[in-house]
Structure 1
């Protein structure tokens, strides 16, 4: 959203656009992925299972030995036998602690390996998606998956999942131990299983969808925040703070309400589990008393059985009180595995043709050291485009021409189609009808590398990657010399601060290095644009995030970076539009006006109203 996108008489939040979300896997698909991951690491997986089973068995062994001690005391066995049992008890306790510690470590290691693989795969899948797909689903959904879902799963792997797995194994071993004491006592304890099963049968089918709904609500909230922050200048200039505040508040209340619903739901589950424990303990005591009265079981067996069943309370309680976190982790797992299964080539179907991967971003093409390529004209003819799931096209029969070496600024209200048109001209997506020609070449005939060589696109979502500044710049031109890097920085006005860094171009920037403000980050992106040397440049609100002082500096840098190239601006500030050779005004997907700034102001139409709104909004914002 930009300050040039809303007329004063139509000030409003961006209109709703039907959105899909990224794919979410089923529980079975997620389980298969985890199983396949474990099979790829057989030694680690086997050691994890063996140590967990051994730890659980060693924790149950003391209870079984206690039964032997009671019977030994009753039977007046020699003290040496009791001393031996005592030594075994101590040894079992120590070995059980060691096995449990090893099991916890191995589960964490296996889980961390799983998370790293999943996170890497999810990020790779997102980076490989066409930009049109990202636009279709919304950045909130994308960011919540590679951000929030990874964080939730990471926490679950550290805390909940090891607890649930270890406790589950312990429950199974303890149940076997009860049958080892006496099969009738084992059956009595098993009488609680139907109550446990009913509780889980009631809980599991309802909990997974509820947690997925909670994660989706968090994604919607993130999208609402992002849309407001992206257009903060417009929000302030036209007093739309209340509109966006209400939208974010609505999404936040939704997240809160779902959180309360989850908490209440889990409380009901805990109550059902407690009833199951009560049923089992009562059955064991009653059956044990009857067996003892009938002299059908020893005192040691009867006394150990309630202790063995009580031994289940701790792991069952751990499962219950971490199952909430485990369910959240499961919901995040299905969302991340769903991203891995995204088929980018087949997502944009129906009325809109399949979108192919877009052109290079931030000038990632070009041959360093060669003469700058001659600028090429841009011709857009009869361009029509619609998003999947919508009946009305975003763009309708658009026609534009940018002469070789010339510049054109796109302005218009929210939802007019500016960003979509800019993306199509950059080779991101395929139009339903019409064509985009760069010089004599139709972009539809090119693959990704071919489109990248002709068109570079720079948006406001610029990024500095962690590493030396020189390496960050060489993303656009791997063979660039330091002299060429400095020339590019000088062109965009960044050489002075870059040379002032502690190690100059070798200074580490980004995460773990020098923190750069928005203006400097955008200058780096513009320097990459200079190094790329594509003959056509598309700038989609590339200076929108900078403050007013930084924006003026960046506007000068943009003009310098684009000198001698054919340039399309999606104008964030009308000062940018004024600097272009010509201006095109879009409304409802159509070009309604074209001309120079002076011609359009004199015409008294759409652009003139936009210009008056811009001047008034700028005065109010600065006042």
Structure 2
């Protein structure tokens, strides 16, 4: 556990933690020596000349002073390390999360990451501050006591030594017994956390459909029941292990007691030494028994360390061995195959987005359009084939260089909690206030600002919840305008907007995309028809490629798509006469 803790907290905290552990080991050894000194002290007090006790008392005093110094130093170091761990762990978790491929972020990760960044970090912070001392003491002090016991009576020391394998075996058995149940309980807590967040976020939908009661979300109810059952099972499973461990500790002391009594009755061990060694035997079993009391806390801390270590061990996209700078801003796919978790999505995709042109990507849902858009900024690496930007494989471009050339506007926009200006400035943190305002003007965000009570300082809420979908989209486009990247990827940017917001967003997009290499994933006829080239994607393959006029004249899949969309634009809702 100590080695894993040092690996998890990072090299900057390894030295103070090692110093703390060293101090704890020294303190535990000194504690064991102090306990062992009880034997000659009691022998002297119970013997014929009690004055012989003074040298031993002075020795115990000296050892105790050294123990206090070691204990103070290790505890001070431990509390300092625990206080610094929070920031360090959050940085390490954040750095790892930000470098993981997007495919890692499945929906269930929300609850897991939330628990990881809060409860797990707190559990780990408690290790150096509260758990390392009893953990080290429970191992080192008994070993020291047994080793020194051989100086006084090898037979009782051997009896104590023979109990150690049994104690270790029972402890490991009890730990294995509860570990699986603890893992299930932890997973249930993470699932429940995700469902609670979901329940809160979906309140508008639940209330609209008359499901506003506390038990209106069956998935949340199921998660809560699963959590309760997992907690109950963990408790039931852990009790036999705790009882067994407590019994074996008592049995170990009983073995030493019976052995010592037998030797005393046999006349080969005087009573004074027996009483002194029995006191020492109590100090042998007491730290081990404390481990049982801390068992649940230790398992929780170990589980937290395992979860953080697992996250930190997740593979990131490999860095470029010989980084190169793209020559231009064209985009090329050559014989690209790609899939998620072994399920193929793209098959032998080849395409070229010429610099300064607009390409529209159309096709049925699930055909792989969004996947193509996300392979360009290297959210994932392709299974085979190559994606190039400016003639260079994206795997050979430094991530910062690649992302500096690309702006992405998604259909689902997420805004960070803060002001409108804060969210626009994300596009280029070094931009001046004038540049931010100009980007906002081009994206028609000024219209939003003027009708908000706090103007530019209006808080957008978590995820931008205080703004409408169209308003969030315009802020996102302003962010992309401010970034001023030469390659722009638009993924259904106007698919779910009302006509007024759609027109505003279209105007903003015109300002964003002028003179840039543009890939548009859209179903709007006007947007598609204006493209320099149109790629029709079906089941992960490009089945048609050309201009709007040529593809319509060809009478193929795109022509059918165009005819369907044209008919759909004429749809109207009509009142039905039921009389």
Give, in whole Å, the separation in 2 of the partners of 1:124 and 1:380: 30
Aligned partner of residue 53 in structure 1, secondary structure: helix
| Pair 1:32–1:479, CA change in 2 (3 A) | closer
The match for 1:172 among 143, 147, 156 is 143
Change (3 A) 1:111 1:461: farther
Q: Distance in 1 between matches of 2:22 and 2:145?
A: 16
Deviations 1:492-526 (A, max 9, x none): 5666969x999989x9x999xx9986549877654
In the alignment, is residue 185 of structure 1 matched against residue 138 of structure 2?
no
- Which residue of structure 1 lines up, in the alignment, with residue 323 of structure 2? none
Is the deviation greater in 200-209 or in 89-98? Answer: 89-98
Q: Measured at CA, do residues 462 and 318 of structure 1 come closer, stay the same or move farther in structure 2, by a change above 3 Å? A: farther
Aligned-residue offset at 1:225: 6.4
Q: Partner of 1:9 in structure 2?
A: none
The 8 Å contact of residues 335 and 386 in structure 2, kept in 1 or not, is answered as yes
Corresponding position: 1:420 with 2:392: no
Distance 2:259 2:339 in 1: 72
Separation in 2 of the partners of 1:144 and 1:595?
A: 50
Distance between the aligned counterparts of 1:29 and 1:95, measured in 2?
26
2:96 to 125, 145, 151: 125
Match of residue 202, structure 1, among 173, 182, 193: 173
Shift of 1:288: 2.1
Cα displacement (A) at 1:483: 1.7
Alignment of 1:436-475 (within 5 A): 447=397, 448=399, 451-459=402-410, 460=412, 462=414, 464=416, 475=426
**Does the 8 Å contact 2:9/2:89 carry over to 1?**
no
Query: Greater Rg, structure 1 or structure 2?
Result: 2
Distance 2:463 2:371 in 1: 32
Counterpart pick for 1:560 among 486, 495, 508? 508
Q: Is 2:337–2:383's contact at 8 Å kept on the other side of the alignment?
A: yes
On the 8 A contact 1:600/1:608 being kept in 2, the answer is no
User: After superposition, what is the alpha-carbon deviation per residue over 1:204-223, rounded to whole angstroms, capped at 9, x for unaligned?
Assistant: 44555554454455555566
- Determine the structure 2 residue equivalent to 1:393: 345
Deviation track 1:577-599 (CA, whole Å, cap 9, x = no partner) reads 69956699999768998799997
Specify whether residues 533 and 387 from structure 1 end up closer, same or farther in structure 2 by C-alpha distance, changes over 3 A only.
same
Q: In 2, are the aligned partners of 1:193 and 1:276 still within 8 Å (CA)?
A: no
Aligned to 1:531: 482
Inter-partner Cα distance in structure 2 for 1:244 and 1:594: 44
Q: Secondary structure at the match of 2:428?
A: coil
CA 1:160/1:337 → structure 2, altered by over 3 Å: closer, same or farther?
same
Q: Which moved more, 1:48-57 or 1:276-285?
A: 48-57
Contact 2:249 2:288 in 1 (8 A): no
The match for 2:567 among 603, 615, 622 is 603
* 1:123-153 deviation line (CA, Å, top 9, x unaligned): 3232222324445995555555555543443
Distance in structure 1 (CA, Å) of the matches to 2:384 and 2:12: 48
Q: TM-score, normalised by structure 1?
A: 0.65
Structure 2 matches for 1:568-579, cutoff 5 A?
none
Displacement of 1:481? 2.5
Q: In structure 2, how many angstroms separate the alpha carbons of the residues matched to 1:568 and 1:248?
A: 40
1:300 partner SS = helix
Inter-partner Cα distance in structure 1 for 2:535 and 2:233: 50
Q: Once the two structures are superposed, what CA deviation does each residue of 1:286-311 show, in whole Å capped at 9, x if it has no partner? A: 22223333443343331133322323
1:72 maps onto 2:24 in alignment: no
The 1:523/1:590 distance shift into structure 2, 3 A limit, reads same
Tell me the equivalent position of 1:343: 315
**C-alpha displacement at 1:378, in angstroms?**
8.8
Change (3 A) 1:311 1:431: closer
Contact 2:464 2:472 in 1 (8 A): yes
Instruction: Compute the RMSD of aligned alpha carbons.
Output: 5.8
> In structure 1, the residue corresponding to 2:100 is in which secondary structure?
coil
Is the CA contact (8 Å cut-off) linking 1:385 and 1:393 kept in structure 2? yes
CA distance in 2, matches of 1:294, 1:140: 66
CA distance in 2, matches of 1:469, 1:483: 14
Say if 1:193 and 1:274 are closer, same or farther in 2 by CA, change over 3 A.
same
The CA distance in 2 between the partners of 1:494 and 1:394, in whole Å, is 37
Q: Shift of residue 532 of structure 1? A: 1.0
Deviation of 1:101 after TM superposition, in Å, equals 3.5
- Whether the 8 Å CA contact 2:477–2:509 is kept in 1: the answer is yes
Alpha carbons of structure 1 residues 308 and 432: separation in structure 2 relative to 1, 3 Å: closer
Q: 2 CA distance for matches of 1:233 and 1:296? A: 83
Report if the CA contact (8 A) 2:134-2:290 is conserved: yes
| Aligned pairs for 1:376-387 within 5 A | 385-387=338-340
Q: 1:102 to 1:564 in 2, by over 3 A?
A: closer
Whole-angstrom CA distance in 1 between matches of 2:396 and 2:353: 20
In structure 1, how many angstroms separate the alpha carbons of the residues matched to 2:97 and 2:105? 8
Q: How does 1:487-498 map to 2 (within 5 A)?
A: 487-492=438-443
Q: 1:213 to 1:83 in 2, by over 3 A?
A: same
Structure 2 unaligned regions, length at least 5: 321-327, 543-555
SS of equivalent residue, structure 1 residue 484: helix
User: 2:393, 2:210 → 1: CA distance?
Assistant: 40
1:196 Cα deviation after fit: 0.8
Q: Which residue of 2 aligns with 1:297?
A: 269
Aligned to 2:260: 288
**Structure 1, unpaired ranges of 5+:** 1-26, 347-354, 357-372, 617-623
In the alignment, is the contact (CA less than 8 A) between 1:118 and 1:337 conserved in 2?
A: no
3-state DSSP class of the match of 1:386?
strand
| Range with bigger deviation, 577-586 or 84-93 | 577-586
Contact 2:494 2:502 in 1 (8 A): yes
Secondary structure of the 1:186 match is: helix
Return the alpha-carbon distance in structure 2 between the equivalents of residues 517 and 158 of structure 1.
40
Q: 1:81 to 1:190 in 2, by over 3 A?
A: same
Does structure 2 retain, via aligned residues, the 8 Å contact 1:529–1:561? no
1:233–1:83 distance in 2 versus 1, CA, 3 Å: same
For 2:116 and 2:509, the matched residues in 1 are separated by: 35
Displacement after TM superposition at 1:531 (Å) = 0.9
Using the size of structure 2 for normalisation, the TM-score is 0.69
Asked whether the equivalents of residues 52 and 103 of structure 1 are also in contact (C-alpha less than 8 Å), the reply is yes
